[in-house]
Copies of this chain bind each other. A is one copy, B any other.
Amino acid sequence: MEFFFDFVSPYAYLASTQIDALAARHGRQVQWKPFLIGVTVLQVMGLKPLMETPLKADYIAHDKSRMAELLGVPIVQRDMRGVNSVAACRAYLWLAREDAGRARQFAHRVFERLWVQGLDITTPADIADACAAAGIEAGPVLAAITTDEAKQALRAAVDEAVARKVFGAPFFFVDGEPIWGVDRLWMLEHWLTHGNWRPASKA
């Protein structure tokens, strides 16, 4: 199954703390796929950033806290102005070419910087710190993420997300079923358990 995420999404962070264990309970593995939600939501869909959408901001602020509590993980409220995930997504893709497990360790440290420690993830120094926390040598990563190859890899990842109509984060595909949102982990669990959408009593 696939897990599309952007580090800037608090709901993608929450999903990142659950998805591998959930899949493992059903003998599945997860392919993590970074993309830039700013491109899909803001450019392709023509919507506003979540926290600037009228009526929604208070709900989201409260909701991410209670959802974190329900999932038993920490989260901070934070100002996202100036934060972007371009460098972190490029670094993830570069690391994942050689070692998906190492890339995943890096991704967890990036999510934690942003959503647990309340730090930034935007600059080369942030990427270097996240590498260090994941036990990864930072030099080659920092060198890689400014290459045309790394830029092109991220563009391709975003293009794939748009082509597959990934309109939000987290976004999952399991056996071709698209599922949007950390509030739908119960649907993932249902599908992985039953392989159909019949009510649990009849599945």
Contacts and interface: CB of A to CB of B under 8 A. Distances in A.
A72 interface: yes
B45 A55 contact: yes
B165 A59 contact: yes
Interface of A: 40, 44-48, 53-56, 58-59, 62, 66, 69-72, 162, 165-167, 177-178, 180-181, 183-184, 186-187, 190, 197-199, 202
Given A44-B55, A46-B54, A59-B178, A187 B197 contact: no
A54 B165 CA distance: 8
Copies in the complex: 2
A46 B46 contact: no
Contacts of A69: 197-199
A10 to B, nearest CB: 15
Contacts of A47: 47-48, 53
B62 A178 contact: yes
Given A46-B48, A47-B47, A55 B199 contact: no
10 contacts: A46-B54, A47-B47, A47-B53, A53-B167, A55-B162, A59-B167, A69-B198, A72-B199, A72-B202, A186-B186
A157 to B, nearest CB: 16
A183 B199 CA distance: 14
